[in-house]
Amino acid sequence: MPRCLLMMLFLFLSFPILAKDDLFKNVTQNYSLGKYRATVDELQKIENTKKLDPKSRGFIAYWKAMAFNRLQDYPSAIEEFNKAISLKYIPQDLHYELGQALFASEKLLDAKVNFSESFKRSFKRGTSLYYMAFISRELGQRENAETLFLDVVRLEDNDALEPRQAAQLQLADMTLEVVELQKDAIRRVEYEVLPIYEKALKINQDSPLAEKIKEKIKEIQKKYNLVLFQLRNGRPTQYPPYFLRAAQEFGLDTNVTFAPQETTIEKARQSSTFSKTEFFGRYTYYYKDFFSYSPEFRFNNTYYFNRVPEIYRNDNLLMAPALRLAHEHALWGSPASFHLDYEFNEARRDVNSRKRLDFSSRSLSLTIGEKFKFFSFGETALRLRERIFESFINISDSRATGLVMEQVVGLAQSTLLIYSSLDFTRVRSKDFDTNSLMIRLDWLLPKYRDFFTPSLSMGLTVTDPINDREARGVETLFNPGLRLSRDIGRNWKLHSRFEHQTNNSKDKNNFAFRKNLIGLELEYLY
Amino acid sequence: MNSFCFLFLLLSSFQLWAGPKAAVVKILRGSAQAEISGKIASLKVDDWVEEGATVKTREKSFIKLIFLDKSQMNLGPNSEMKIEKFSKDEAGVIDFVKGKVRSQITKDYLQMETNKSKLFIKTTNAVMGVRGTDFMVTTNGKNTLTVLFEGEVVMNTLNNTKTVSPVKLDEIVDRGVRIMPGEFSVVEQGRSQPTIPSVLNLEQRDALETNVNFESDRAPSSEAKEDTAKSMVPEGLSGESVSNNSEILKTEIEKVSSVEQPKAPSTTDAGGFVSGDVVKPANGSFVHLDSAVVIPPPADSVFDSNTNSFIPSSGNGKVSADGNFVPPKDIEITTEGKVLMTVPVEGGTKVVELPKPAPVVAPAAASLTQVVQIVATNPTLVTSTGTVAINQPPVVTVLPPTTIAPPPSGGLTPIQNVVEKVSGRLDINVTRP
């Protein structure tokens, strides 16, 4: 009975904290204005002067602890949070805030327990889990840390984007730590570690952390010589310095055309499926930071499946070695380069329809040019080309001088490439002399729904057969095309293309033609 | 000789009383003088200072002036100001030359419209229109800092310091920035406009607000922060990401208190930005009072959504009990705003100049403490001219263009070019520089 009376007395004297009144007026105002020291003092005053029930005392302890955390007085915050827990006043964010105070006080095990509790209570799940993983890493619990970081990466919470990216970065750092101790570190850094960093980067390319990741990638590339160096005009060197390509295409040509020389054409008026195999390789060497030379080789073989003489005489084998030299400098404050290209090309064809590849033609080109940035939207290249062409028919030998202009136009989501060339071709048999102008636009579009990358093209060639104008007139060749590309593996791509060609000529029998080309190509890049 | 001096001072003082009275000396610590028409007189408590007089304080000195309208103006150590105008009819004009001044202006001064300035304080490059009650201004003659504790102040740059007409001054300040309680703004030499007002570091604001009399020997308020070196933000995350938005506490408070919780000021761009001449310092920045140099919260600072500001970790320094910014060990900020660092060299030390930190929370930025460590371990960063060549964080993040560069090789046919681009050769050049 006396116990009962005492309890009633206590209840009577206890302050009814949940009733709305102005007892907390000053505290609320101070807290809202960020006056956390005054908040704590006011709360202490209330605690000292009022008799409160446990719940109210718990609330005050929690509030004080929140203010202490913001004052970075972590020991006091921990004490007050623990007081609130002992009084069974545990709001959803208490364990998270307590975990932070413990983390800042280097009490990592206790902090981890509290973040685990916070995660269970679904409060800031991504950050809570990240704290747990980070603490595990700090404590040397490597496997546990990896598992937890992976859990963070897999989270689908809307507010977990930053922890996901940071966790992926941590995983990359941890992998790097291990790989750096291995014998084949360079190879593994390139093929195992860098992709993890790039994965982290892809989570959010625009985040502040993305800048750090980019820096880290550069640092690693530099450390392992994965980037050679930056050229004196700021242009980065080729990475990797080699480029290898192997491609196999199967397609259909609706009107196979035979071109024994550069300025004439013969039509088969028949369609055929074909196979085209290509190998290409190039390596770029650098001399100091301003000069590069790149030997390259191209091999190309085309085979037509329609085995009638008018068609299979087009079977061909092409070998084209080249050497490209570049001198890097600056022009109008931007990187520029002077180019000198030396290209050789030998083609073998079944020119006599004997099911045997014989010498068909060879050409030698020398091109000088300058690539520079004059327009803000993209680089410009101007080139002057001289080409000597030898055919298996002597009268078809020719010499051509060409002026080329290339322009890149960077659009918001896509890129437009403009190519134009003006060629003056003089053939041993003067009847075949031509002047021609070619303009081609290639529009490279962004990836469509992560499925394929389209590109559209349109070409127009105007050919003036200067000594045969009466018979042929000025010819025009329209050449629209569509190409769809899709990544199908780390180094593999699949391309499909559709092209149409219409050549208009006064000499309809010999020079006018129409054809369509469709093809499917599998490509391997290294 | 003493009698002669006394007589001279008495005569000088008499001159001070000759014009219209503006303010009376209420408190004096150390020594202060008033000068008018080339005549100088030492001030003492209860002396009147008239319109047109220049008041100067010496080192460790302080003077409290009570004006005709009961407004207070506290002039800190090594400070100088001229009372250009102070009458009962129109807004007063104070020419503040250097030092620190704390003003507590009465609300009903002149009984003017609320959107009109009641007092103008001019420095060499800025003018403040005072529409409220409690604020502090510091200037080193080049930069001007205003911190507001209560009421409202508008500030703008001032090109012609000879302007004394309140009407013209009002026009100028009307085009300036409006500072709210708890915020600060800086007019830097060479910048065409004041910084966008930002929330001052909470601890510094508290210390300054209570240190009305510029006391420099106040007892430290808390040792707790000193012992805490570690930030609560784990590596990889930002202070905003780990921040608890305090909504749960707010809900709990609403259950027990009917008081409306005021909203935090400066609700946008808490991390700050620099875009040409427009500067918005990070909320929660410290300010070095003598030079008005803004010290941003370090990258590992936690964000307090309750006040919309960062709570700095210890990496960039701290605040003393009198409200002054105390830089980390081996760093010193001069009155001119130079950030100096003492570097250990063979046989002693050397003082070098560090680049001024950008006033933003930059994730990649090294804190001043980290800079000290970096420079101490990499003496090669010190240039022959005595400066430190250390990379500072990018002030404005310019994203790399998303356009595709032309292929590296020349001389290919356009079709080959396209093949190379589409087949990924170009991707290699773009994404793996």
Which ipTM did the prediction report? 0.76
A169 has a chain B CB within 8 A of its CB: yes
A93 has a chain B CB within 8 A of its CB: yes
Angle value at C-alpha A31, between B257 and B179, nearest 5 degrees = 120
A305 has a chain B CB within 8 A of its CB: no
Q: How many helices (H) and strands (E) does chain B have?
A: 9, 28
Cα–Cα separations (whole angstroms), residue B230 to A58, B235, B308? 28, 11, 22
What token pair was written down for A457? 């093209």
Give the number of other Cβ atoms within 10 Å of residue A356's Cβ: 11
pLDDT for res B60: 87
Using CA atoms, how far apart are residues B154 and B170, in angstroms rounded to an integer? Answer: 9
pLDDT level of residue B7 (50, 70, 90 thresholds): very low
Pairing of strands B153-157, A513-525: unpaired
Closest residue to A20, CB basis, from B231, B258, B406: B258
Select from B249, B273, B417 the residue whose CB has the most chain A CBs within 10 Å, as the one to mutate to test that interface. Answer: B249
- For B69-146, where are the alpha helices, taking DSSP H only? none
Among B residues 242-301, those touching chain A with beta carbons less than 8 Å apart: 242, 244, 246, 248-249, 252-253, 255-259, 261-262, 264
Our CA dihedral for B311, B314, B315, B316, rounded to 10 degrees, sits at 70
Number of A–B residue contacts, CB under 8 Å: 250
Cβ–Cβ gap B236/A72 under 8 Å: no
Q: pLDDT by residue (tens digit) across B110-154?
A: 455 555 667 889 998 899 888 767 899 999 988 999 999 988 888
Closest residue to B423, CB basis, from A369, A413, A525: A525
Using CA atoms, how far apart are residues B429 and B421, in angstroms rounded to an integer? Answer: 10
Q: Is the pLDDT of residue B257 over 80?
A: no
Q: Is the pLDDT of residue B87 over 90?
A: no
Distance from CA of B182 to the nearest CA of A (A): 8
What's the predicted TM-score (pTM) here?
0.62
Count the alpha carbons within 13 Å of B57 in the hemisphere toward its beta carbon: 26
Cβ–Cβ gap B249/A103 under 8 Å: no
Residue with tokens 């897999």: A154
Q: pLDDT by residue (tens digit) across B191-207?
A: 889 999 999 999 999 99
Distance from CA of B414 to the nearest CA of A (A): 6
Contacts of B212 (CB under 8 A, 6+ apart): B74, B102, B104
Using CA atoms, how far apart are residues A183 and A172, in angstroms rounded to an integer? Answer: 19
Enumerate the residues of chain B whose CB falls inside 8 A of the CB of residue A93.
244, 248-249
Single out the residue of A512, A463, A460, A462 nearest to residue A481, CA to CA: A460
A457 has a chain B CB within 8 A of its CB: yes
Q: Is the pLDDT of residue B265 over 80?
A: no
Residue B348 region, left (φ>0) first, then alpha (ψ -120 to 50), else beta? left
Using CA atoms, how far apart are residues A408 and B335, in angstroms rounded to an integer? Answer: 52
Contacts of A413 (CB under 8 A, 6+ apart): A445, A446, B402
Cα–Cα separations (whole angstroms), residue A390 to A45, A111, A425? 102, 80, 13
Q: What residues does A100 pair with on adjacent strands?
A: none
Q: What is the CA radius of gyration of chain A?
A: 37
Give the number of other Cβ atoms within 10 Å of residue B255's Cβ: 11
Q: How high is the mean pLDDT in each 10-residue block of chain A (526 residues)?
A: 50 45 80 90 91 90 94 94 95 96 95 96 94 95 94 86 94 92 80 90 88 88 72 72 91 79 61 93 86 92 88 89 92 88 92 85 94 87 93 87 91 84 90 90 82 90 90 91 88 91 86 89 90
Find how far residue B379's CA is from the centre of its chain: 31
Q: pLDDT by residue (tens digit) across B221-251?
A: 544 455 445 788 999 898 888 999 888 888 8
Cβ–Cβ gap B411/A339 under 8 Å: yes
A239 has a chain B CB within 8 A of its CB: yes
Single out the residue of A114, A41, A42 nearest to residue A81, CA to CA: A114
Contacts of A339 (CB under 8 A, 6+ apart): A324, A325, A326, A367, A368, A369, A370, A371, A381, A383, B410, B411
Closest-CA residue of chain A to B242: A127
Give the number of other Cβ atoms within 10 Å of residue B332's Cβ: 11
Closest residue to A59, CB basis, from B222, B252, B409: B252
Among B residues 51-110, those touching chain A with beta carbons less than 8 Å apart: none
Q: pLDDT by residue (tens digit) across B352-403?
A: 888 788 888 876 677 777 777 777 776 666 666 666 555 443 322 222 222 2
Select from B403, B421, B429, B430 the residue whose CB has the most chain A CBs within 10 Å, as the one to mutate to test that interface. Answer: B403
Cα–Cα separations (whole angstroms), residue B187 to A467, B73, B78, B193? 77, 21, 20, 7
Q: pLDDT by residue (tens digit) across B277-321?
A: 888 999 999 999 999 999 999 888 889 988 889 998 877 888 888
Count the alpha carbons within 13 Å of B259 in the hemisphere toward its beta carbon: 20
Single out the residue of A434, A476, A486, A424 nearest to residue A455, CA to CA: A486
pLDDT level of residue B45 (50, 70, 90 thresholds): very high
DSSP H or E stretch at residue A30: helix A25-32
Among B residues 356-375, those touching chain A with beta carbons less than 8 Å apart: 362-364
pLDDT for res B275: 82
Enumerate the residues of chain A whose CB falls inside 8 A of the CB of residue B261.
28, 31-32
Single out the residue of B265, B299, B269 nearest to residue B282, CA to CA: B269
pLDDT level of residue B427 (50, 70, 90 thresholds): very low
What token pair was written down for A296? 């390259």
Do the beta carbons of residue B362 and residue B394 sit within 8 Å? yes
Closest residue to A378, CB basis, from B304, B403, B428: B403
Cβ–Cβ gap B234/A419 under 8 Å: no
What token pair was written down for A506? 């006064």
B238 has a chain A CB within 8 A of its CB: yes
Distance from CA of B53 to the nearest CA of A (A): 38
Distance from CA of A410 to the nearest CA of B (A): 5
Do the beta carbons of residue A521 and residue A498 sit within 8 Å? no
Enumerate the residues of chain B whose CB falls inside 8 A of the CB of residue A21.
256-258
Cβ–Cβ gap A72/B311 under 8 Å: yes
pLDDT for res B26: 93
Cβ–Cβ gap B225/A72 under 8 Å: yes
What token pair was written down for A88? 């069974």
Gap between the terminal Cα atoms of chain B: 82
pLDDT for res A277: 96
Cβ–Cβ gap B258/A417 under 8 Å: no
